[in-house]
Structures are given as C-alpha cells and as structure tokens.
Amino acid sequence: MAIPEYDVLIVGSGASGGMAAYTLTKRGLKCLLLEAGPSVDFAKQRVMKPVYELPYRGLGKPGKLPHVLQANEFNANQWVDEQQVPYTHDPKTPYNWVRVRMVGGKSLFWARMSFRLSDYEFKAKDHDGFGENWPISHADLAPFYSRVEPIFRVSGRKEGLAQLPDGDFIPDESPDSEATKAFAASAGKQGIPVTKIRRSLGKGAWASSFNLLLPDALATGNLTIVPNAVAREISVDKATGKVTGVHFIERGSRREMHAKAKAVVVGASCLESTRLLLNSKIANSSGVLGHYLCDQFYMNSSVVAIIPELKNGAGARGGGGYIPRFRNLRKDEKHNFIRGYALDFNTGGTPDPRYFGSWGEQLRKDLESVRGAAFSCTSMGEALPRYENKVTIDKSVVDAYGIPVLHVDCKYTDNEYNMAKDAVDTIGEVCHDAGWEVLNKNPKFYNPGYSIHEVGTCRMGDDPKKSVLNKWNQSHDIKNLFVVDGSSFVTAGSQNPTMTILSLSMRASEYLADEAQKGNV
Amino acid sequence: MNLKRRRFVQTLAAVTPAIAAAQQPAPSPAGGPSQTGPGGRGGFGMMEDTTKIDVTPADAVARMVTKFFNPDQFAALEKLGAIFMPTMKGAPGAIDAQAPQFLDFLLSESLPDRQKIYRTGLDGLNSQAKERFHMTFAKLSDEQAVQLLEPLKKPWTYDAPSDPVEHFLRVAKQDIRTATTNSREYVMASGGSGGGGRRGGGGTGLYWLSLDQA
C-alpha cells in the first residue's frame, strides 16, 4: 500500500489541533492528524447508571486519580490514567495535571467560558514592568477571534470594557435576575463591573473540535485522522535542520511507527506539546522551552452568601454573571500584588452542608430554609509567568508507551496569595453591602494546574533568545515547525484561555498556508 | 435490627423486584422457543440474544461484612451515623443505608492518610467518651454524645482542623451523608430522586466505560 504524502502533520485533535486541521484543510493542504486517544462512540462509551450501583457509591475508587479533583466515579475513565501516563513532582509542591486523550481532547469537556484577552494581557509588561509583552496585540488577534466566535456560537452582551474586549456574539438579551441586579448595584458602588457570562453554545451536545471543526475539515477531503497514535518524537533532517515527521506508538499494539510530512503543527495541549519537543531535543536554542509555566489560580466557593430575599422557598430567582478583572487597570493603583483576577458567580443554589454547624434533623431544617437562596462565586487569578516554574524531562520514569515523562516544578508565590485574599475580601464586602449574609470566605486555592488552564512553557516572542516561537507560533529555530496551543502564551491573564488558543491556532495556520503557498516552509 | 430498620428492609424487598421488572422486557417463557425474535427466525442463537434473566443485587439478600474498623471503632461510627443521618421524613437514615458498613469497605481500600483520619478520630472519640462519661462513644445517650460533637459548630475553614477528632468529625459528617443519600435504599425510598448524587437528577449519571478497549 502506497503511503500518502502529507503537507502537514498535526499532533492533537483538541481545540488547537482541531482548529489547525480546520484551517489548513480549507486552504487545500493535505493534513494527517495524530490523536493519542481513541475515537469515541459516546452512545456506546457511556451508560446510564444509578449512583448506588457504582462500587463506591459515587465517592470514587480511592487513589485512582489523585491529581484530578474534577473526576468523580461516573467520569473517572474519561481522564488520562495517571498510572499509565504518569508525571513527577516534588511531593511538597504538587501539581494537578488534568488530561484527556480522545478525538476532541479537552474541548469535549470544557466549561465553555469564552473570553478574549485584552491589551492588559498582551502588553502586560507595559503596565507593570513584569515579564515580557506578547509579540502581538489584541488588534492582531481580533480578526481571528471574530471568526472563531461564530463557529463556537459564543453568547454574550457587548459591555464596552477595555479589559474584556467585546466579540462577535449571539446577543444574550436575557434579563438579569433580581439577585444579579442587587449584586451588580453593590459592586458598582466599588467600581466593580458585572457582565453577562460569555459562553460557547456550540451545537447539540458539544462545543468541541469534535463537532465544530473536525467534521468540516474531513469534508474537504484533505484530512486523515489517526486515533490511538501516541506521538513520541519529532524527526529532523540533519542536513536541512527541518522536521520531517513524527515517530508515534500505536496505542493498542505498542508498535513504533513513523509518519512523514512537509511541516509539523503541534497542538497536543500545553504540557504534552512541550514534552514532545523536549523529548525530541529540538527548538530550544533559547533555553526557555519548558519555562514560564503559568495558569490561573482557582478557588471555587470563594465567597458563599445567603440572599435573604430568596430564603424559605421565596422562589427560584437565580441567575449569574461575570466579574472581569478590575484591579490594576490604572497605573496609579496601589495593591500588594500586580495583575488581577476575575470571578464568575451564581445565585439560586443551596449551600453545601459543610457550612452549617448542625447535623441530623437540624441540618435538614437549616438547609431547607436556605434552599435556592445561595450566592457562590469562583475566582480565577493570573499566576505570574516565572522562569523557575517549569517542566523538564524526568529520565528515570517512562509511561506505558516507553516515553520519558515530565517533571513539573511549579508553585504559587505571594503575588497569587495576596490576590486571592483581596478577591474574597472584596467580594465578601460586596455581598455584605448588598445586605446578604456571608456564610463563608475561602482564600485558599487549589494546587497549580487545577484550573486546567496551564499555559506557557513554549512561549512566543520577537527575541529568539527569550522565546521558543515567533509571533506566528512558528519555531524560531525550525521554520516548518509550529506549536499552536496554550504553551505559546506569554502570560495567562485572568480569562479562560480557549478562545485565545483557537484564535492563535487559526492565525498560525493561515500563516503556515500562506508560507507554504510561497514555498517558504 | 431495630423496628424501623426491619420495616424498611421489608419495604425494600417488596420494592426491588417491581422496579427490576419495570426496567426489563418480559422474559421469554422458560424453555420455549423465542416468540419475539426479529423476522420470526427464533432458534437457539436468537434466544441467547434476547432472553433476559431476572436477577437481584447482592445488597437485597446479604449484609456487608466489616473488616477495617475494630469493634469499638465501628460501634462509634454507627452511633455517629445514627446521629448525623437519622431517619428523616421517611427517608432511610445512615443505619438503614448501611452507611457505616459501606465506609468500612471504603476505608479498607483508602490511602493511609484517610485511614489514619478515621482510626485516630474514632479512637479519640472513644477516649473522650471514656474520660467524660466512663464508657465508649457507642454507649452514650444521644444527649451525652452530642456534647462531644460541639467542635462541628465552629465555622468551616478550607484548611483541615489541627485537632484529629475535629478533623475526623468534619470528614465523617460529609461521608456519612453522601454514603447515605447515594445508597440504593435512600434513592429507592425517595422515589429515585436521590440526594447526594454527584451527577444528574435521580441519583443517576452517565458512566464512562474504560477507554482501554476503545
């Protein structure tokens, strides 16, 4: 059987790899996409079960996924098995690396929060002098955000805020609930804006590359998807210095295979992409590959309050919203941290029983009286990109496919701790001023990684000595190698990253197609 | 077995087959050829494909054997279960739901950190009971027992309390509640509405099969 020749080999089928396939195939390039996990038939892969039929009554098999706090006993098998594909870290500085391997990747399971980054992120160094600016601005990426948003059907309301650029939304014209209005009024007194949530509606059950990108790419006739292909190493032609393809392990048989292409686009997720480059020993003349790992710290239930008007079955008048970053937008602000945080909130729920000092019948009554009357918010704050937060290859451990694993070395510092405290104190005050009863304030965030918004480690920049990629997500060292996922970020921002990942991937792929046309790759 | 529990178990025995029957197609007449095979092809092979056997879950016929906690620890856990989750508004409590037995099983498979929280906490609770009332926690009256649960009234904090009994009480309050509301007994008695199911309504959810063979 003749092996076809491919223009581009794409590693990964999630948001970034899927978008590369979508863009490149529409431009007429023949693409081969390798996905480490299976192509899942969701109707067969999932069965309805009552919780009592699960061996652990929903509490989960102890120790199965120690780092995946999002896992429960129903969905435990959807995540990457930590025993099969381990990683290492110092026990004192745990890192929660959450992974999915199947066609569609993590885009099958994301929370769909869909925001743009602003020039407060792209040009962060200009505001506070820390770190580096991105080599691009919002204006450079805006045309691509504007093409991505309609594909993912992002709903939102135009708010006119510089720190949260408006997009091409499906207008969210739903009225704000009374509780949301009360919260917004109290927040407004402190100059804190409250917006609608911006969310990808997708189509049907999904808002994923699985249903929004890959089918269109396949329809061009230019895409070949190979599931169960675990990329191990990118091959390089020593004579030209260009990449020639990818060595991969077939998941079922464990056979080693090699596929060729004229260019390689890596979109395997932030840390898997960097792991692949590190294991390939390429694209690191700068020495910063693996460094500047960052994300957003994450605290759910940061502030939990009771809304008196909703108590004792007053009726479900819930609703929620988003509080975009409001700190350090002016250079003359004085706080004990730089950058900022954002929150999303909900009203109308029932608080967790842990907040009540009662039990038995009294706890039942306590919960009954506040059913549907709770306010709760989740904070996400920008963790600073620091050189010392990094991933390296741990040569002493290999995964089930014989591939050396990552060692993650990442911790938060006072900037993040101070920011978290400010978040709960400030929002606690807003609730209190609204006349609500603050039940709990929690300034403790989860381990780094928990937000599943890990970015950096393969960052872009204009200076090849300080960055791995140029402003087109193209390797400074190897012109036919592109990395199009969150690893290319220079800063994390406080916004969820998926819209930016998709837009960067689309922009990089357009550039690659242009360059290929000119014979430059 | 107390009266309430016996009555509940009788109810469960009466309810289980009815629910099982409602969820499955009527079985073919025993020994006869299939009347319902597609295309009237019937035959042995088709019978094997379509016949459904009525079965009963182990919990309806047997009780869990405890093996992790020692007798004093387990008795204290049962007492706590009865206090934290008594029978309320007709819904089975922790004892009806065999929550202590389930936790014995769960803890037997848990990591050492978790095991230590339970063992140390239950031992501590028994020590406190002996110190103040000269008997084990399980033998205390409810009025006496709740005096030892006072630490639970402190405001909840993200960090676990440094006192091991306090820490245990907080963990146990949550685990006993979940183990009860996610039990077969509780879900069935509440008309399938469940209570602590982490997914979906009715205590049901989409369960992911292993991807190993996918």
DSSP secondary structure letter of residue A105: G
Q: Do B111 and A360 touch (CB under 8 A)?
A: no
Report the greatest alpha carbon distance in chain A.
77
- Residue A316 has a pLDDT of 59
Burial profile A478-491: b = 16 or more Cβ within 10 angstroms, e = fewer: bbbbbbbbbbbbbb
Average pLDDT over residues B163-183: 97
Q: Do B184 and A355 touch (CB under 8 A)?
A: no
Nearest by CB to A355, from B84, B156, B194: name it.
B156
- Residue B214 has a pLDDT of 85
Residue of chain A whose Cα is closest to the Cα of B170:
A354
Q: Do A45 and B211 touch (CB under 8 A)?
A: yes
Q: How confident is the model at residue B180 (pLDDT cuts 50, 70, 90)?
A: very high
Binding-face residues of B in 169-208 toward A, CB within 8 A: 170, 173-175, 177-179, 182-184, 186-187, 192, 194, 196-199, 202-208
Contacts of B178 in chain A (CB under 8 A): 57-59
Which two structure tokens, joined as six digits, stand for A298? 């994450």
Average pLDDT over residues B47-52: 71
**ipTM of the prediction:** 0.93
Q: Do A59 and B179 touch (CB under 8 A)?
A: yes
Q: Do B155 and A51 touch (CB under 8 A)?
A: no
CA distance A328 to chain B (A): 28
Contacts of B197 in chain A (CB under 8 A): 51, 58
Nearest by CB to A52, from B159, B182, B206: name it.
B182
What phi-psi label fits residue A270: left (phi over 0), alpha (psi between -120 and 50 degrees) or beta? alpha
Name every residue whose Cβ is closer than 8 Å to that of residue B145 and which is 6 or more positions away in sequence.
B79, B83, B129, B137
- Beta strands (DSSP E) in A189-316 are 199-200, 223-226, 229-236, 243-250, 256-260, 263-266, 296-306
What residues are paired with A46 via a beta bridge? B208
Ranges of chain A whose pLDDT falls below 50: none
Assess whether pLDDT exceeds 80 at residue B46: no
Contacts of B182 in chain A (CB under 8 A): 51-52, 57-59
What residues are paired with A230 via a beta bridge? A249
Q: Do A361 and B88 touch (CB under 8 A)?
A: yes
Give the strand pairing for A374-382 and A296-306. antiparallel
Residues of A with CB under 8 A from a CB of B: 37-40, 44-54, 56-59, 61-63, 72-78, 101-102, 353-355, 357-361, 364, 440, 442-444
Q: Do A37 and B211 touch (CB under 8 A)?
A: yes
Distance, in Å, from the CA atom of A71 to the CA atom of A99, rounded to the nearest integer, reads: 11
Burial profile A109-126: b = 16 or more Cβ within 10 angstroms, e = fewer: bbebbbbbbbbbbbebee
CA distance B111 to chain A (A): 7
Q: What is the mean pLDDT of chain A?
A: 96
Distance, in Å, from the CA atom of A377 to the CA atom of A354, rounded to the nearest integer, reads: 16
- Residue B48 has a pLDDT of 59
Distance, in Å, from the CA atom of A2 to the CA atom of B181, rounded to the nearest integer, reads: 59
**The overall pTM is greater than 0.95:** no
Q: Do A50 and B208 touch (CB under 8 A)?
A: no
CA distance A72 to chain B (A): 8
Distance, in Å, from the CA atom of A343 to the CA atom of A450, rounded to the nearest integer, reads: 16
- Residue B30 has a pLDDT of 38
DSSP secondary structure letter of residue A177: P
Coil, strand, or helix at residue A148?
helix
Name every residue whose Cβ is closer than 8 Å to that of residue B28 and which is 6 or more positions away in sequence.
B34, B35, B36, B47, B50, B51
- Half-sphere exposure at residue A520, Cβ-oriented, CA atoms within 13 angstroms: 9
- Residue B26 has a pLDDT of 36
- In Å, how far are A49, A61, B83, B174 from B203, measured between CA atoms? 9, 18, 23, 17
Distance, in Å, from the CA atom of B8 to the CA atom of B14, rounded to the nearest integer, reads: 10
* Nearest residue to A87 via CA among A69, A68, A105, A74: A68
- In Å, how far are A70, A111, A322, B53 from A453, measured between CA atoms? 13, 11, 18, 48
Assess whether pLDDT exceeds 50 at residue B16: no
- Residue A315 has a pLDDT of 61
Q: How confident is the model at residue B195 (pLDDT cuts 50, 70, 90)?
A: very low
Measured in degrees and rounded to the nearest 5, phi and psi for residue A475 equal -60, 135
Q: Among A41, A51, A75, which would you mutate to test the B interface (most chain B Cβ atoms within 10 Å of its Cβ)?
A: A51
What residues are paired with A298 via a beta bridge? A380
* Nearest residue to A451 via CA among A322, A300, A341, A298: A298
Q: Do B182 and A51 touch (CB under 8 A)?
A: yes
Contacts of B157 in chain A (CB under 8 A): 442
CA distance A459 to chain B (A): 33
Distance, in Å, from the CA atom of B178 to the CA atom of B172, rounded to the nearest integer, reads: 10
Distance, in Å, from the CA atom of B106 to the CA atom of B178, rounded to the nearest integer, reads: 12
Interface residue B89 vs chain A (CB under 8 A): yes
Q: Do B174 and A63 touch (CB under 8 A)?
A: no
Distance, in Å, from the CA atom of A478 to the CA atom of A472, rounded to the nearest integer, reads: 13
* Nearest residue to A40 via CA among A99, A110, A103, A107: A103
Give the strand pairing for A88-89 and A404-409. parallel
Binding-face residues of B in 111-140 toward A, CB within 8 A: 111, 114
Residue given tokens 């929620």 in the structure block: A320
Contacts of A229 in chain B (CB under 8 A): none
Contacts of A52 in chain B (CB under 8 A): 182-184, 186-187, 203
CA distance A302 to chain B (A): 10
- Residue A227 has a pLDDT of 98
- Residue B9 has a pLDDT of 38
Instruction: Please give, one letter per residue, the 3-state secondary structure of chain B.
Output: CCHHHHHHHHHHHHHHHHHHHHHCCCCCCCCCCCCCCHHHCCHHHHHHHHCCCCCCCHHHCCCCCCCCCCHHHHHHHHHHHHHHCCCECCECCCCCCCHHHHHHHHHHCCCHHHHHHHHHHHHHHHHHHHHHHCCCHHHCCHHHHHHCCHHHHCCCCCCCCCCHHHHHHHHHHHHHHHHHHCCHHHHHHCCCCCCCCCCCHHHEEEEECCCCCC
CA distance A238 to chain B (A): 37
Coil, strand, or helix at residue A334?
coil
Distance, in Å, from the CA atom of A301 to the CA atom of A375, rounded to the nearest integer, reads: 9
Burial profile B125-145: b = 16 or more Cβ within 10 angstroms, e = fewer: bbeebeeebeebbbbbeeeeb
Distance, in Å, from the CA atom of A431 to the CA atom of A305, rounded to the nearest integer, reads: 7
Coil, strand, or helix at residue A59?
coil
CA distance B31 to chain A (A): 31
Measured in degrees and rounded to the nearest 5, phi and psi for residue A300 equal -85, 160
Residue of chain A whose Cα is closest to the Cα of B188:
A52
Nearest by CB to A72, from B57, B184, B198: name it.
B198
Nearest by CB to A51, from B149, B158, B204: name it.
B204
- Residue B78 has a pLDDT of 98
pLDDT in tens, A112-155: 999 999 999 999 999 999 999 999 999 999 999 999 999 999 99
Q: Among A359, A401, A440, which would you mutate to test the B interface (most chain B Cβ atoms within 10 Å of its Cβ)?
A: A359
* DSSP assignment string, A467-507: -SB-TTSBBSS-TTEEE-SGGG-S---SS-SHHHHHHHHHH
Report how many helices (DSSP H) and strands (DSSP E) chain A contains, helices first.
Answer: 12, 20
Distance, in Å, from the CA atom of A340 to the CA atom of A478, rounded to the nearest integer, reads: 35
Percent of chain B surpassing pLDDT 70: 71
CA distance B205 to chain A (A): 6
- Residue B47 has a pLDDT of 54
Assess whether pLDDT exceeds 70 at residue B189: yes
